[in-house]
Amino acid sequence: MNIHDLLTEQTIFLPLETSASKEDIIRQMAAGFKEAGVVEDTEKYVQAVLAREQSSSTGIGFGVAIPHGKSAGVVKAGLAFAKLAEPAEWQSLDEQPVSIVFMIAVPEANVGNEHLQILVALSRKLIHEDFRNKLLHASSAEEVIDTIKNM
């Protein structure tokens, strides 16, 4: 399983210029998914992600948020990464603004286990500070992909 299948240049935003609204960030990243062929029906997917945010914020603390959605609008599993130019409010658990966003797209139908395994490994890794720091200081898409590849 290759990380390139999940994370492509179109879905890496270094940095993401933003008006600092949560929905705006999600929409910009969803547009990246559309370009990469991960998402077909962008609106459907965005609604799924926003619905998930409604139930409880995906801001997990440490300046990281992981919005995600499972939707019929998704063609194949995908991952998007954004380093925000300005930290954004995300109603995080620790009430700190967010500067790293990982967005996850999962199709409605059963997704291959390997994809899930990568997302699982990534989730676990995000708990560790050195991993987060590497991502925060990454200056190119390759560096981001490399960091995740070697996690």
Catalytically annotated residues: 68
Tell me which of 1, 37, 124, 140 binds other proteins, using CB under 8 A. Answer: 124
Q: How far is the CB of 1 from other proteins (least distance, A)?
A: 13
Q: How far is the CB of 111 from other proteins (least distance, A)?
A: 8
Q: How far is the CB of 45 from other proteins (least distance, A)?
A: 14
Q: Does 82 bind other proteins (CB under 8 A)?
A: no
The residue (of 60 and 138) whose beta carbon lies closer to other proteins is 60
The residue (of 27 and 52) whose beta carbon lies closer to other proteins is 52
What is d(CA 70, CA 106) in angstroms, rounded to the nearest whole number? 5
The residue (of 124 and 149) whose beta carbon lies closer to other proteins is 124
Evaluate whether 96 touches 63 at the Cβ level (below 8 Å). Answer: yes
Residue 113, φ and ψ in degrees, nearest 5? -65, -35
Q: How many residues does the chain have?
A: 151
Residue 107, φ and ψ in degrees, nearest 5? -70, 160
Q: Does 70 bind other proteins (CB under 8 A)?
A: yes
Evaluate whether 87 touches 99 at the Cβ level (below 8 Å). Answer: yes
Q: Does 130 bind other proteins (CB under 8 A)?
A: no
What is d(CA 74, CA 36) in angstroms, rounded to the nearest whole number? 11
What residues contact 54, with CB distance under 8 A and at least 6 apart? none
Q: Does 126 bind other proteins (CB under 8 A)?
A: yes
The residue (of 68 and 76) whose beta carbon lies closer to other proteins is 68
